[in-house]
Amino acid sequence: MIELVRIIAGTLSNLTTLNAAIASVALDGIDAAPPDVLAVLNEADHNLTFRESESPLAPCIVVATKSAFTGKTSRFNGVQDWEGDVIVGYINVGAIQQTNFRDAMYTMRAVKKLILDTLFTGNGQATARTRNNVALMWIPSMQYGITEQNAFGGVMTGALSLTCTTREINP
Amino acid sequence: MAFGDSDMGVFFGDMGVVVSVGNDVTTGLLDANDLTDAQAFPGAPVRVVDAQTVVTIARGSLPSIVRDGQITVDGTVMRVRDMQQEKDGSLTYVYCVADK
């Protein structure tokens, strides 16, 4: 759902705010702070191919749909509700696997907090959660910290998977 | 005449590149390929392509090699991700990543 991708990516698009959030994450004393994120990309506006050999911007955040959105065919009182998954992914390049893992986990924690703070904390966030008559109603569940690093490459990925319920108005 | 370990030097000599760890120096066969990581974001339209670098060396030819340690392959400083014995154990595949 294009609106949802852009709503969530929009919460992360100010790199100064995002990197301040990353810098504020509590760390174990022996760990270094993760590096600043250099780009926030999304499925609606960017090519999401990340090729290590091309020296891409890293680390970066990617926002994309992970599943089709499902909803009832009927419309009720002028609205139609949908549910589906969006991933907020972290991609970094580094030689040391355990360092990559730490950076991914700490960064994803900051990303999760920033999304929830921006969209769901206090009053007045309804506008931030709405685009083109599609509103992000709530995120009933999420998966935090899915990581993957191929044994034969230097790219680490981490993901925050958000199950989102959206409401389309006047569908 | 059977092909044996003693013949490996011909291949390394003809097609090999210089590989070193500290003061240990040998020659090895370099393979560098792009490798799509299908497990990176399953189900999402995000394509992650790793740079896969594998150097094949004669087993024991770099005694000081360790995982996560530095290695120089054809003039490029890299890190050792892992090592794997291959064939009858006479060869070692060294998986390397850019030293970033």
> How far does the CA of residue A49 sit from the closest CA of chain B (Å)?
5
| pLDDT bucket at A61, cuts 50 / 70 / 90 | very high
**pLDDT value at residue B2:** 64
**pLDDT value at residue B77:** 96
> Which CA distances in Å does B77 have to A24, A67, B56?
33, 41, 16
Instruction: Report CA Rg, chain B.
Output: 15
**pLDDT value at residue A37:** 97
Q: pLDDT higher for B68 or B89?
A: B68
| pLDDT bucket at A170, cuts 50 / 70 / 90 | confident
> How far does the CA of residue B13 sit from the closest CA of chain A (Å)?
25
For residue B29, is pLDDT > 80? yes
| pLDDT bucket at A127, cuts 50 / 70 / 90 | confident
By the 8 A CB rule, do A138 and B36 touch?
no
- pLDDT tens figures, A64-116: 999 889 988 887 888 999 999 999 999 999 988 899 999 999 999 999 999 99
Q: Does A55 touch chain B (CB under 8 A)?
A: no
Q: Is the pTM of this model over 0.90?
A: no
> How far does the CA of residue B60 sit from the closest CA of chain A (Å)?
21
Q: Does A121 touch chain B (CB under 8 A)?
A: no
Instruction: Report CA Rg, chain A.
Output: 17
User: B48, B76, B79, B93: best mutation site toward chain A, by most A Cβ within 10 Å?
Assistant: B48
In sequence order, the β-bridge partners of residue B33 are: B52
Out of B49, B51, B54, closest to residue A49 by CB: B49
For residue A142, is pLDDT > 80? yes
State the Cα–Cα distance between residues B12 and B9, nearest whole angstrom: 5
Out of A49, A51, A154, closest to residue B97 by CB: A154
Give me the residues of A, 77-96, that contact B with CB < 8 A.
85, 87, 89, 91, 93-96
For residue B26, is pLDDT > 80? yes
**pLDDT value at residue A34:** 96
For residue B1, is pLDDT > 60? no
**pLDDT value at residue A124:** 65
Q: In A2-127, where do the E strands start and end?
A: 39-42, 49-51, 60-65, 70-71, 79-93
Q: Does A97 touch chain B (CB under 8 A)?
A: yes
Distance of CA A66 to the CA centre of its chain: 11
